[in-house]
Amino acid sequence: MERKRIPVVERILSANDRLAANNRERLQRHGITTINIMSSPGAGKTTLLLATIRALGETCKIGVIEGDVASQVDADKIAQAGVPVVQINTGGGCHLDATMVQQALEALPLDEIQLLFIENVGNLICPAGFDLGQDYNVALLSVPEGHDKPYKYPSMFEFVDVVLVTKTDLMPYMDFELAEFRRLVQGLNPRAPVIPLSARTGEGMEAWLEWLKTAVKGK
Ligand code: MG
Ligand code: ZN
């Protein structure tokens, strides 16, 4: 039997796009560079943020919006690191949208922030489809998830500005083929660099921090 694939184009989004444009304009007025971080649950988004906050220290004023279905455990961790943070609970929703981010911006001291991270809800599918007003998109894929994920979730890798392979300290225990992963990402998105790193050991963090500095300047 012939198998058919049905492309689903999610574009009931014009209202969201308008709100995202408002957010973007507001963030730009405050001179803030905004980075949307996406991955599946448990890929290490919060751990990466904590390591990034530690590494940048006083050189850059950071703010964070945490998106989760429930709880504020991640926001609590970020707050302990001493940066302003707002938790959004989507109450079951599997992605952030521009309205939620607009509300979070109300609660942040925008004049005191240069670099704003938005940690999206852990999900490799729909977060890529909703503009929030960000300048850059980052996708994380952790080593235990396997190098074949770009086959299954192409939209996550197609439009991002950089791809981070996290938890590289687990590489010796997993069958993750980095060269193959790079090949798959480059096939979908030739302009996105792939940076392998471990926030736990610090390996590769320097390349990520360099990318961030260029992103903040290049805006
Ligand atoms: Mg998290
Ligand atoms: Zn969703």
| Tens-place pLDDT, residues 88-107 | 999 999 999 999 999 999 99
b/e string for 64-77 if b means 16 or more Cβ within 10 A?
A: bbbbbeeebebbeb
High-pLDDT (> 90) share of the chain, %? 90
pLDDT band at 13 (very low <50, low <70, confident <90, very high): low
Q: How far is CA 144 from CA 75, 78, 183, 205, in A?
A: 25, 24, 18, 19
* Range with lowest mean pLDDT among 14-18, 164-168, 174-178, 199-203: 14-18
Tell me the pTM: 0.92
The tokens of 101 are what?
Answer: 């981010």
Q: How far is CA 100 from CA 30, 69, 181, 184, 209, in A?
A: 19, 12, 33, 33, 28
Mean pLDDT for 126-151 is 97
Cα of 75 from ligand 2 centre, angstroms: 21
Question: Which residue type occupies 130?
Answer: F
Cα of 2 from ligand 1 centre, angstroms: 41
Q: Rounded CA gap, 68 and 94, in Å?
A: 8
The tokens of 148 are what?
Answer: 């074949």
CB 47: neighbour CB atoms within 10 A? Answer: 19
pLDDT band at 25 (very low <50, low <70, confident <90, very high): very high
The tokens of 187 are what?
Answer: 């096939």
pLDDT, mean over the chain: 94
Kindly identify the ligand whose nearest atom is closest to the C-alpha of 88.
Answer: 1
Question: Phi/psi at 14 (nearest 5 deg)?
Answer: -65, -35
Cα of 126 from ligand 2 centre, angstroms: 5
**So what's the pLDDT on residue 38?**
98
pLDDT tens, position by position, 129-139: 999 999 999 99
b/e string for 106-135 if b means 16 or more Cβ within 10 A?
A: eebebeebebbbbbbbbbbebbbbbbbbbb
Domains and CATH numbers, the chain: 8-217 (3.40.50.300)
Does the structure show a pLDDT above 80 at 2? Answer: no
Kindly identify the ligand whose nearest atom is closest to the C-alpha of 122.
Answer: 1
Cα of 65 from ligand 2 centre, angstroms: 17
The tokens of 217 are what?
Answer: 């300047």
**So what's the pLDDT on residue 6?**
55
Q: Is 112 helix (H, G, I), strand (E, B) or coil?
A: helix
